[in-house]
Amino acid sequence: MSSLLTGHAVHPVHLEHLVRSRNDLVLNGWTDRGIAHAVQRGVLFRVRRGWYIAAEERARLWPEEQHRAHVIAVARDATGGAVMSHTSAAVLWRLPLYRIDCVRVHMTTLPSARISSAPDVKRHVAELPRDDIAVVDGIRCTSLSRTVFDLLGGVPREAAVALADAAERQMAGRLREWDVDAVTSWRTGLERRLQNAAGSRGIRQARWVAAFSDGRAQLPGESVSRLQLHRLGFARPELQAPVPGPDGATYYVDFRFADRDAFGEFDGKDKYFDEAMRSGRTLEQVLFDEKRREDWIRGTTQSRFARWESDHILTPRTLGRRLEAFGIVAP
């Protein structure tokens, strides 16, 4: 299961209504034989034993949302005081999981609690202060801060940067406004957690990512791009750089390389192929609008302008080659 690369908010899907129990299906006229046959034919998808979702509906979900459906099913079966945590809390908080496979649901329970197990559930044992527990969509899970803390040091650095950026954006992003006080408070709290975790596994990466994070990166692809640019030796670019547009409009560009007199954009596919993201425009209109926008920026700034896609950020080298094609060379 690959992760969502573009990072746009998942379409509003009421998964709690899509994830249905065996008992609910039976009450609505299904039989056990009919359920088994529907699973075999690919009409129903079995989320876990006793829980199902229409295969067609599941196919429309991002991988993070598919995992959230799994989390919902486990939560409905769960007893005791365990809470969703790690990647399973992350999907409840709508954090991106860049190229992370979510096979099992993660739950954290207190050391004094009895621990049961299941093939599709991974249980962690840890103390959870009251402030570290929240309720999202009616499901108990670790708080946003605790969730980020639990993951920063244990996932690949690309994924860690993407989720740290996204969490900070949740705390401080107000459309195009940036709440400096909110981001300061968020970072202070996260830094305090990391300081208290000296010697923990993965703490060096976690501290580095926390310091590197920047919620102004709007998509996971932008976050990973920023990491690869850092690895290539580029100076820290300006994010969401404003450029005066026609008729008093303002265009925002993902990256501005001030020392290279250049702009760059991560080009997610959503804005071209996702009907909701096109806001009623045809694909042709979106392409035309993007061309007109880029032409304006090039013409008024006389700066280079590069675009890249998901395949270009898999390694620093691939992104470096892409930028060189547009005359933007790493230091």
Question: Is the confidence at residue 7, as pLDDT, over 60?
Answer: no
In a domain, residue 247? The reply is yes
pLDDT of residue 285: 73
Condensed to tens digits (0 to 9), the pLDDT of residues 55-92 reads: 999 999 999 999 999 999 999 998 888 999 999 999 99
The position carrying tokens 């993407």 is 162
Of the pLDDT bands very low, low, confident and very high (cuts 50, 70, 90), residue 175 is low
In a domain, residue 193? The reply is no
In a domain, residue 160? The reply is no
Region 18-34 average pLDDT: 96
In a domain, residue 228? The reply is yes
Find all residues with CB under 8 Å of 208, minimum gap 6, and list them: none
Helix (H) or strand (E) holding 224: helix 220-232
Contact indicator for 138, 103 with CB cutoff of 8 Å: no
Q: Tell me the whole-structure pTM to 2 decimals.
A: 0.88
In a domain, residue 231? The reply is yes
In a domain, residue 315? The reply is yes
* Residue ranges making up the domain that contains 302: 220-324
pLDDT of residue 115: 60
Angle ∠(172,173,178) on CA atoms, nearest 5: 80
- Number of structural domains (the chain) is 1
In a domain, residue 248? The reply is yes
